[in-house]
């Protein structure tokens, strides 16, 4: 039984089997596609005896994007990613369960984040690898807090693929631009070490104040123009990543879809022609997973409202699929 059931009830919808459809295959064959392999379940029923390897969990919320004056629509991201994911061919054998969505009710971002934190904590406590899909990048604040609540004595580093630092100070209310400032100030304020590494930062998308905040918190980062999939560029990045890998017990990876060039991803709140390529991200993910320290991943900021031919959602789904083959 999920001991925090009453604390997430208002925001939680369990996995829905009718979402998962795809190409029909011979019934005598083993599952060939995601939709044939994945099961749907409820966090309320999860325990150590029935825990899958992977737990898909949605963060159906773009209130943080709205508060940040971005283009709303990411609330529908989790649904579209599932639709694309279900149709992908299957290339791994580990069990995976769709545990449904944490939703934002009455524009209450804080309640939604609290519920998501509890959901992540429950997955980790039952040794389930969270594959989280958003939703705005405020998912990161809730996701990391859930990891730390489950593993309070462990040091967990943050790797963020993103055009933005998301280090804005909270002025009136939190939003999609504040999650890492919140985490760094809260945990470092308690004397805990939090390492944050941002990959793909664009100068045109971050003010000088944000670079100053990054310096204040000793945030390491790589600018977008250095995010090449050439052998030399990847080797340089790997050398920069080694310290955060070595000094942390675990790693949490978060991928903001607006870090990709708009040539690949149009369906985001803040598209940019400058950005990294899918090939680059695939290679860096493979390197990070070689460490055997990756604890959880999420995909943020997919906005179906502005997607072209579903290509952004298709890439998000393929990232989830690729991560599943690495773990």
Binding site for Mn(2+): what residues are annotated?
Answer: 137, 162, 164, 166, 256, 258
Q: What is the DSSP letter of 111?
A: H
Q: The tokens of 232 are what?
A: 């030399």
Return the number of other C-beta atoms located less than 10 Å from residue 290's C-beta. Answer: 12
Burial class (CB in 10 A: 0-12, 13-18, 19+), 187: middle
The DSSP H or E segment spanning 101 is strand 96-103
Annotated binding site: 137, 162, 164, 166, 256, 258
- Residue 90: partners with Cβ closer than 8 Å, 6 or more residues away: 31, 32, 33, 34, 36, 37
CA dihedral 22, 26, 27, 33 (to 10 degrees): -30
CB 19 within 8 A of CB 79: yes
Is residue 196 a contact partner of residue 160, using CB atoms and an 8 Å limit? yes
């Amino acid at each position: 039984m999920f001991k925090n059931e009453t604390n997430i009830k208002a925001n939680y919808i369990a996995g829905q089997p009718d979402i998962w459809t795809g190409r029909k295959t011979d019934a005598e064959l083993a599952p060939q596609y995601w939709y044939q392999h994945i099961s749907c379940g409820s966090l309320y029923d999860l325990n150590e005896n029935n825990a899958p390897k992977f737990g898909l969990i949605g963060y159906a919320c773009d209130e943080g994007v709205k508060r940040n004056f971005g283009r709303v629509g990411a609330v529908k991201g989790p649904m579209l990613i599932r639709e694309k994911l279900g149709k992908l061919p299957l290339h791994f054998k580990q069990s995976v369960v769709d545990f449904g969505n944490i939703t934002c009710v009455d524009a209450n971002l804080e309640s939604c984040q609290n519920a998501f934190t509890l959901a992540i904590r429950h997955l980790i406590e039952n040794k389930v690898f969270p594959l989280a899909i958003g939703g705005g990048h405020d998912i990161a604040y809730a996701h990391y807090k859930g990891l730390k609540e489950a593993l309070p004595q462990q040091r967990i580093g943050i790797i963020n693929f993103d055009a933005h630092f998301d280090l804005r100070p909270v002025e009136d209310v939190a939003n999609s631009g504040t999650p890492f400032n919140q985490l760094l100030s809260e945990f470092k304020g308690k004397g805990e070490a939090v390492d944050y590494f941002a990959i793909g930062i664009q100068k045109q998308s971050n003010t000088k104040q944000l670079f100053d905040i990054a310096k204040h918190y000793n945030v390491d980062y790589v600018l977008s123009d250095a995010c090449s999939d050439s052998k030399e560029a990847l080797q340089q990045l790997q050398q920069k990543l080694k310290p955060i890998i070595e000094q942390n017990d675990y790693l949490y990876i978060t991928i903001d879809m607006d870090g990709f060039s708009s040539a690949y991803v149009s369906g985001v709140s803040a598209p940019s022609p400058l950005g990294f390529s899918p090939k680059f991200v695939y290679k860096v993910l493979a390197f990070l997973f070689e460490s055997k320290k990756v604890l959880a991943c999420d995909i943020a900021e997919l906005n179906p409202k502005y997607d072209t031919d579903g290509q952004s959602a298709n890439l998000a789904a393929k990232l989830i699929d690729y991560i599943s083959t690495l773990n």
